[in-house]
Amino acid sequence: MKKVGFVHSDEYLRHDTGAGHPERSDRMKTIVQHLKQMGSWQNLLHISPAPASLDWITTVHPEHYVHTIERRCLAGEEILDDGDTHVCRDSYGVAVLAAGGVLRGIDYVLDGTCDSAFCAVRPPGHHAETANVMGFCLFNNIAIGARYAQRKFGLNRIAILDWDVHHGNGTQEIFWADPSVLYISLHQFPLWPGTGRSDEVGDGAGKGYTINCPMNPGSGEPEYVQAFEQRILPALHQFQPELLLISAGFDAHTDDPLANICLTEHSFGVMTDYVLDVASRHCKGRIVSVLEGGYNLDALAKSVETHLSGLATV
C-alpha cells in the first residue's frame, strides 16, 4: 500500500460558525469517527499542522486583507460577507492553521515522507479571492499551497483539480493569467457562485490554463466520467504537472443538501483512480488533496474514506 498522510487537528473544531450553519465542526468529527470505525485510521500517517506564516499567506492575499480578517474576527464579528461566511474570535487563527495544514501536507509529499496527503482542514478555501472573503472561505488554502510548492520546492507546473460541486471562483481568479498553474473545475452550473462557464479560460499568458466543465443539475457518474475522459485527462497529460492538488469537495454527492448532482462515494473513487494514473505518469504519484465542501455528514465521511482508500492503492 502507498503511504497516505492525513493532516488534522482538533484546533479546527474551534472555528465556530453557529447553529444551523452547514460548514460546521461536526464535519471534522464525523470524518475522524468514521475512519476510526472502519479501521482506516491506523493506516494513515498522521500529520500535525503548523500555522502558515504571513509571508506564505501573502503570496496570494494582500497583507492588509489578512490583517483585516484578523481584526474583524478578534473584534467578535460573526459574519464577514453578505451572509454566508460565519466566524468567531478563534476563526482567524484556525484559518491560518488551515492554510498551514496544506503546507505541511505538501512538505511531507514533496520530501518523500508519504506518497500523497489528504488535508482535513477547515475553514475551506476555494471561494476566497485575492482580497475577498466568500462562501465560508477566508484564505484560499490550495492557492497558498500552490505558491508554496513553487517557491519553496522550485516546481514550475502545478495542476489544481477542483471537484467541489460549487465552482472555485477564488482559485480561478487568483491564477486567471498564470500559465504555471492549470486550474480545472467540475461543478454544477447554474449554481452559486454563478461563475465557471466553459468559455472562462483565463487571460493573457494564462489563456487556456483555466478549464471549466459545468455539469447540468442531475448529472451523475457517467457524465463525470465523460468529462474526465474527453476534457480533463487530455489537458492534464498535455500539461504534465509536477504536483497535482485536489480541491476535494464532496458536496456533489447525491445526498448533499446544497446541490443537485448525483455522485456516490463510488464516484469519488473513480475520480481518484483517474488522478492517480495522471500523477503516476507525470509527477511521481505526488498528490495533495484538500478538503473543501461536503455537508451531508454520512455522505462526506464515506466519500472521504473512499478517496483515501483510492490514494492508498498500489
Q: Would you state the CATH architecture of domain 4-312?
A: 3-Layer(aba) Sandwich (3.40)
Q: Which of the following is catalytic: 8, 15, 127, 187?
A: 127
Say how far apart CA 264 and CA 275 lie, in whole Å.
Answer: 17
SS3 of 225-265: HHHHHHHHHHHHHHHCCCEEEEEECCCCECCCCCCCCEECH
Q: Rounded to an integer, what is the distance from CA 87 to the centroid of its chain?
A: 19
Is residue 127 part of the annotated active site? The answer reads yes
Strands 181-188 and 243-248: unpaired
Predicted structure pTM score: 0.97
Place of cell 468529462: 227
What are the tens digits of pLDDT across the range 268-292? 999 999 999 999 999 999 999 999 9
Q: According to the model, what pLDDT value does residue 314 have?
A: 64
**Domain regions of the chain by residue span:** 4-312
Tell me which residue of 222, 234, 238 sits closest to 271, measured CA to CA: 222
Q: Is the dihedral of CA 232, 233, 239, 241 positive or negative?
A: positive
Q: What element of type H or E holds 7?
A: strand 4-7
* 3-class DSSP assignment, residue 68: helix
Q: Tens-digit pLDDT profile for the chain (314 aa)?
A: 899 999 999 999 999 999 999 999 999 999 999 999 998 999 999 999 999 999 999 999 999 999 999 999 999 999 999 899 999 999 999 999 999 999 999 999 999 999 999 999 999 999 999 999 999 999 999 999 999 999 999 999 999 999 999 999 999 999 999 999 999 999 999 999 999 999 999 999 999 999 999 999 999 999 999 999 999 999 999 999 999 999 999 999 999 999 999 999 999 999 999 999 999 999 999 999 999 999 999 999 999 999 999 999 86
Say how far apart CA 212 and CA 163 lie, in whole Å.
Answer: 11
* 3-class DSSP assignment, residue 118: strand
What are the tens digits of pLDDT across the range 20-38? 999 999 999 999 999 999 9
Say how far apart CA 60 and CA 146 lie, in whole Å.
Answer: 10
Say how far apart CA 155 and CA 240 lie, in whole Å.
Answer: 12
Asked if the peptide bond before residue 190 counts as cis, ω within 30 degrees of 0, the response is: yes
